[in-house]
């Protein structure tokens, strides 16, 4: 009898240990978006083979994505700088590997746009080379579902080479709906081919490959610029990379010894676009000691208000975040590259 009581206590202790351990470490299928890091862009950028050695910092900012456990999800409730997402909300139908590949494409696109915007502003020459169409998604009914992967770049179809995604789409539309097409593509630097039939595209009368695509290009400047962001993905570092590249190729000391952070996509013409998670990026920048933070001042149009009545633009979200953490960091609204450069040059003179 005594043995049974001892055994029950042991089993009970083991059970409690398993429950407690599960509370702290068991995945839930949910994720937390949290403040990430603020990284000096000079470490990622080389112009003419050299890093920027001027005093000060131009910081890109990130969010962190962590797997949610029962403990971390419960702890995040009421925290203004942690947001819970389901895997579907965060990644859609992509698995984690596909999601990472798409984020890497967004970063590559951002760095290409940064080169174009910076060189245009500095009046320096650059070239833009078309690589093909980048595969963003593959529909379940596509004949290429098991042949293509997200991240592949299609370079030709039936031997036809195209100069943009529109040409590719127009060529496919001209094909007989029952035809079989042969595509050439690259994956991880290796050339491959595949053949398949066209499929009916949902909610249309058209037939196609059944893929979501976008243009894949590379921009090269003179002097040469190389941007290697490592494992950082997404498009939101575009503005800060542009400022870093511009300061080097134009030989402008925009930093003047200051720690400057920011976020925002960049278009080749210098337009700055909104991003997600800006509150977490304000937090990360403040923690790193930034005194200036550039926030996209994206216009809130009637169309946006129609579909999302409660929409608040990036700049005002950043202002609210700064107030919550009582930071002295200046939140500066920017609509384009010129706004950021003009502000830095003006405040540099008034120091």
What is the rounded distance in angstroms from the CA atom of residue 243 to the CA atom of residue 222? 17
What is the rounded distance in angstroms from the CA atom of residue 169 to the CA atom of residue 208? 8
36-62+107-122+223-349 and 129-218 share one fold: no
User: Hey, where are the domains in the chain?
Assistant: 36-62+107-122+223-349, 129-218
Tokens of residue 220, six digits? 């090269």
Contact (CB, 8 A) for 65 and 33: yes
Strand, helix or coil for residue 11? helix
Please name the helix (run of DSSP H) or strand (run of DSSP E) that holds residue 153, with its range, or none.
strand 153-157
Is 67 a residue of the active site? Answer: no
The tens-digit pLDDT sequence of the chain (351 residues) is 444 566 666 666 776 767 666 666 788 888 888 999 999 999 999 999 999 999 999 999 999 988 888 777 788 888 888 888 888 888 887 788 888 888 999 999 999 999 999 999 999 999 999 999 999 999 999 999 999 999 999 999 999 999 999 999 999 999 999 999 999 999 999 999 999 999 998 888 889 999 999 999 999 999 999 999 999 999 999 999 999 999 999 999 999 999 999 999 999 999 999 999 999 999 999 999 999 999 999 988 888 888 888 899 999 999 999 999 999 999 999 999 999 999 999 998 655
Give residue 288's pLDDT.
Answer: 97
> CB atoms < 10 A from the CB of 132, how many?
25
Overall pTM > 0.75: yes
Q: Which of 76, 236, 247, 286 is the catalytic position?
A: 236
To 5 degrees, how large is the angle CA 288–CA 293–CA 296? 135
Q: Which of 108, 121, 255, 281 is the catalytic position?
A: 281
Give residue 182's pLDDT.
Answer: 96
- For the residues of 211-257, what is the DSSP string, one character each? EEEEEEEEEEESS-EEE--TT--SSTTHHHHHHHHHHHHTT---STT
Tokens 């398949």 belong to residue: 196
What is the rounded distance in angstroms from the CA atom of residue 105 to the CA atom of residue 221? 20
Give residue 4's pLDDT.
Answer: 58
DSSP state of 350: T
- Establish whether the linkage from the previous residue to 223 is cis, with ω within 30° of 0: yes
Give residue 7's pLDDT.
Answer: 60
Task: Choose among 278, 293, 214, 224: nearest CA to 48.
Answer: 224
Give residue 159's pLDDT.
Answer: 95
Give residue 113's pLDDT.
Answer: 96
Task: List helix spans (H) across 55-137.
Answer: 70-76, 87-91, 96-122
Is 192 a residue of the active site? Answer: no
Please name the helix (run of DSSP H) or strand (run of DSSP E) that holds residue 259, with its range, or none.
strand 259-262
Architecture of domain 129-218: Roll (2.30)
* Gyration radius of the chain's alpha carbons: 25
Strand, helix or coil for residue 19? helix
Give residue 300's pLDDT.
Answer: 87
Distances (CA, A) of 264 to 61, 64, 104: 10, 17, 16
Tokens of residue 42, six digits? 């000079």
DSSP state of 301: -
Tell me the CA end-to-end span of the chain in Å, nearest whole number: 83
What is the rounded distance in angstroms from the CA atom of residue 88 to the CA atom of residue 74? 20
What is the rounded distance in angstroms from the CA atom of residue 63 to the CA atom of residue 29? 19
CATH class of the region 36-62+107-122+223-349 = alpha beta
Give residue 19's pLDDT.
Answer: 65
């Amino acid at each position: 009898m005594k043995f049974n009581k001892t055994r029950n206590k042991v089993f009970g202790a083991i059970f409690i240990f398993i429950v407690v351990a599960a509370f702290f470490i068991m995945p839930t299928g949910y994720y937390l978006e949290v403040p990430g890091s603020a990284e000096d862009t000079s470490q990622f950028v080389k112009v003419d083979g050299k890093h920027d050695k001027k005093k000060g910092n131009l910081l890109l900012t990130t969010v962190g994505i962590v797997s949610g456990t029962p403990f971390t999800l419960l702890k995040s409730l009421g925290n203004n700088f942690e947001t819970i997402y389901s895997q579907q909300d965060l990644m859609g139908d992509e698995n984690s590997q596909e999601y990472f590949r798409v984020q890497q494409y967004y970063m590559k696109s951002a760095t290409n746009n940064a080169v174009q915007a910076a060189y245009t502003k500095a009046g320096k020459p650059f070239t833009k080379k078309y690589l093909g169409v980048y595969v963003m998604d593959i529909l379940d009914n596509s004949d290429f579902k098991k042949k293509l992967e997200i991240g592949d770049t299609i370079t030709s179809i039936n031997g036809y080479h195209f100069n943009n995604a529109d040409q590719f789409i127009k060529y496919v539309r001209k094909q007989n709906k029952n035809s079989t097409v042969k595509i050439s593509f690259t994956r991880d630097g290796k050339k491959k081919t595949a053949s398949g039939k066209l499929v009916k595209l949902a909610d249309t009368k058209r037939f196609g490959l059944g893929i979501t695509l976008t243009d894949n290009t590379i921009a090269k400047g003179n002097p040469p610029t190389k941007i290697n962001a490592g494992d950082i993905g997404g498009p939101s570092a575009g503005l800060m990379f542009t400022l870093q590249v511009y300061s080097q190729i134009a030989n402008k000391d925009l930093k003047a010894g200051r720690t400057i952070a920011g976020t925002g996509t960049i278009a080749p013409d210098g337009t700055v676009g909104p991003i997600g998670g800006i509150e977490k990026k304000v937090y990360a920048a403040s923690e790193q000691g930034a005194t200036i933070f550039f926030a996209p001042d994206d216009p809130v149009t009637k169309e946006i208000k129609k579909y999302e009545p409660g929409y608040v633009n990036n700049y005002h979200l950043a202002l609210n975040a700064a107030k919550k953490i009582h930071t002295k960091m200046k939140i500066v609204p920017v609509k384009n590259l010129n706004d950021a450069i003009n502000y830095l040059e003006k405040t540099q003179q008034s120091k």
